[in-house]
Amino acid sequence: MDYILALDQGTTSSRAILFDRAGRVAALAQQEFRQHFPQPGWVEHDAQEIWVSQLAVARECIRKMAVTQAGHTQAALNIVAIGITNQRETTVLWDRQTGRPMAPAIVWQDRRTAARCDQLRARGHAKRIQQKTGLVLDAYFSGTKLEWLLDHVPGARARAERGELAFGTIDSWLIWNLTGGRVHATDASNASRTLLFNLRTLQWDDELLALLHVPRSVLPQVLPSSGVLGETEAALFGAPIRIAGVAGDQQAATFGQACFAPGMAKNTYGTGCFMLMNTGTAAVPSRNQLLTTVGWQGPAGAAGDQARHHRQATAYSTAYCLEGSVFMAGATIQWLRDGLQMIASADEVEALAASVPDTGDVYLVPAFAGLGAPDWDGHARGTLIGMTRGTTRAHIARAALESIALQVADMFGAMARDAGFALKELRVDGGACRNNLLMQMQADFLGVPVVRPQVTETTALGAAYLAGLATGFWSGADEITAQWAVERRFEPAVADALRSAKLARWRQAVARSRAWAP
């Protein structure tokens, strides 16, 4: 039997999933890895631990499928290609000769370069950066993280200028290791998250490189999201396997949700929340503090350019998206579990929150790492407000769930204003989308249906689709669209007046969190 292997390297775990031709999960393996918080506002990963965990789950996934097929009349297990999707802005700097990281990876949640962003903003660079990259100037992105590493790791800048070091987001780090150091590459979706990539030219930008003092020699080659870019070392899996798909996790999820037409949108509920809307082959500038980003470069027709749909798969087009990013979604529930020890497991939050009819006017603004879209306030701090003597842990749990849906509602409104039309539905995925109470809250706060697909592993599925299209495993966008199916549809169940009052009260709470900035 033929399969595509998707490597889904996330913020808290590494996963591997085998997909069959119907887009169904055939085998899955997952392994968590450690989170490091060396200083307030700092978040780090051990890049070597990420590689070891990702390789381990890939081998485990293949082994599981081989055991399942043993003794049956099926053909031998055949991995046609590998697709990679990854936590995006997390930054790794490594030695080209030894392949060893020069320092811990700086995670996308890390805020250590917020002051540097403030400095660049004060010097008037924010508008130019946004014009070129489509991004808001923020510590979230990897450009200032890379600059920090070059300036703070002893000898790093001099070695980088001599061409001895390599930079990459996690996709590049995995590709390097999978190919035994033969390929140093990324794709346009990941490159567009660095503050160094020009959305119009689709190339690294010399002006931005100079602004952040980044030598071009450390940068990976930018390749299409769907296309064969190399083969794995034979020793890793017993035979070489083509690496044929790469995309940042949120772009991959958008592809996996079959959001191929302009105006189609999805939201992923993971560690954070990330809403993307396909804008087709046009990079639409945001007027409402959203991001303009590359969705993917792939076979023509998957970019919302329907006129090109039937051209050869080797004809590539670029899809662009508008994106809103919420930093704390599933991580908010982890905080209830690990920080407050209010619940023993994340699965308990739905029942606890459902045990009360409302929050009792309690609001949690989970600005533990600042606020993302549409506020973009790196100095805001987590705020729990509205408590009385009657407040219980159930009210706080419900407020935590509501905070996720309310942050998404803010993004949804900003996206509709940028698009110039009302979005008719929201497709959802990610682990927290299985929480029915949260999904109903989401529909209520948005005022439009929330649609959950049968396959919610859409991030990994998107990477698999990109790899499968490049290798002929799937024929095109039509076949992928036909595989997408609804599992449940959540309809809004509150009056417009109540929804408006709720959103207004939420914005009051957000204002309080922003007022706490030093």
Per-residue model confidence (pLDDT) at position 518 = 67
Mean local confidence (pLDDT), 410-433: 88
Dump pLDDT digits (tens) for 469-483.
999 999 888 899 999
138 is in an annotated binding site: no
Question: By percentage, how much of the chain surpasses pLDDT 90?
Answer: 76
Dump pLDDT digits (tens) for 160-183.
999 999 999 999 999 999 999 999
Dihedral sign for Cα atoms in the order 433, 439, 441, 445: positive
Beta carbons of 242 and 289 less than 8 angstroms apart: no
Q: How far apart are the first and last CA of the chain?
A: 59
Dihedral sign for Cα atoms in the order 234, 237, 241, 244: negative
Rounded CA separation 159/166 (Å): 10
Range of weakest confidence among 36-50, 56-70, 78-92: 56-70
Per-residue model confidence (pLDDT) at position 144 = 97
Does the pLDDT value for residue 311 go beyond 60? Answer: no
What number of H helices and E strands is found in the chain? 17, 23
Q: Which of 222, 255, 168 is nearest to 468 (CA)?
A: 255
Which comes out higher in pLDDT, residue 428 or 423? 428
CA atoms in the 13 A half-sphere facing the CB of 316: 16
- 152 within a domain of the structure (yes/no): yes
3-state secondary structure of 5: strand
Range with top average pLDDT, 285-289, 298-302, 314-318, 514-518:
285-289
Does the pLDDT value for residue 232 go beyond 90? Answer: yes
Q: For residues 199, 141, 462 and 7, what is the CA-based torsion angle, rounded to 10 degrees?
A: 130
Q: Which of 75, 72, 70 is nearest to 21 (CA)?
A: 75
Per-residue model confidence (pLDDT) at position 378 = 80
140 is in an annotated binding site: yes
pLDDT band at 73 (very low <50, low <70, confident <90, very high): very low
Per-residue model confidence (pLDDT) at position 300 = 55
- 251 within a domain of the structure (yes/no): no
Is-cis flag, bond preceding 374, omega within 30?
A: yes
Per-residue model confidence (pLDDT) at position 57 = 96
Beta bridge partners of 78: 2
Which comes out higher in pLDDT, residue 378 or 166? 166
- 154 within a domain of the structure (yes/no): yes
Q: What is the largest CA-CA distance in the chain?
A: 68
Does the pLDDT value for residue 289 go beyond 90? Answer: no
350 is in an annotated binding site: no
Helix (H) or strand (E) run with residue 451 in it: strand 450-453
89 is in an annotated binding site: yes
Range of weakest confidence among 61-75, 275-289, 350-364, 412-426: 61-75
How many structural domains comprise the chain? 1
Does the pLDDT value for residue 347 go beyond 90? Answer: no
Does the pLDDT value for residue 391 go beyond 50? Answer: yes
Per-residue model confidence (pLDDT) at position 92 = 98
Does the pLDDT value for residue 456 go beyond 60? Answer: yes
Question: By percentage, how much of the chain surpasses pLDDT 70?
Answer: 94
Rounded CA separation 163/139 (Å): 26
- 57 within a domain of the structure (yes/no): yes
pLDDT band at 69 (very low <50, low <70, confident <90, very high): low
- 488 within a domain of the structure (yes/no): no
Per-residue model confidence (pLDDT) at position 517 = 67
88 is in an annotated binding site: yes
435 is in an annotated binding site: yes
CATH of the domain at 159: 3.30.420.40
332 is in an annotated binding site: no
Does the pLDDT value for residue 299 go beyond 90? Answer: no
Dump pLDDT digits (tens) for 256-282.
999 998 888 899 998 889 999 998 888
Which comes out higher in pLDDT, residue 53 or 475? 53
Beta carbons of 168 and 203 less than 8 angstroms apart: no
Q: Which of 168, 199, 141, 235 is nearest to 9 (CA)?
A: 168
Per-residue model confidence (pLDDT) at position 309 = 37
Provide the residue type at 68 as one letter: T
Helix axis angle for 436-446 and 496-515, nearest 10°, is 100
- 156 within a domain of the structure (yes/no): yes
Mean local confidence (pLDDT), 105-134: 94
- 327 within a domain of the structure (yes/no): no
Q: Cα–Cα distances in Å, from 134 out to 183, 188, 202?
A: 28, 13, 12
- Give me the DSSP letters along 280-303: ETS-PPPSSS-EEEEEEEEETTTT
pLDDT band at 196 (very low <50, low <70, confident <90, very high): very high
330 is in an annotated binding site: yes
475 is in an annotated binding site: no
Mean local confidence (pLDDT), 21-46: 93
Residues 6+ positions from 89 with CB-CB distance below 8 Å: 108, 140, 141, 142, 145, 169, 193, 194
Q: Cα–Cα distances in Å, from 142 out to 188, 201, 301, 328?
A: 14, 19, 30, 18
Rounded CA separation 327/331 (Å): 8
375 is in an annotated binding site: no
Per-residue model confidence (pLDDT) at position 424 = 86
pLDDT band at 406 (very low <50, low <70, confident <90, very high): very high
Q: What is the mean pLDDT of the chain?
A: 91
* pTM for this prediction: 0.85
Provide the residue type at 417 as one letter: R
Beta strands in 65-201 (DSSP E): 78-86, 91-95, 105-106, 165-169, 185-187, 197-198
Mean local confidence (pLDDT), 489-495: 95
- 371 within a domain of the structure (yes/no): no
Beta carbons of 310 and 263 less than 8 angstroms apart: no
Domain residues for 85? 2-223
Per-residue model confidence (pLDDT) at position 390 = 95
pLDDT band at 464 (very low <50, low <70, confident <90, very high): very high
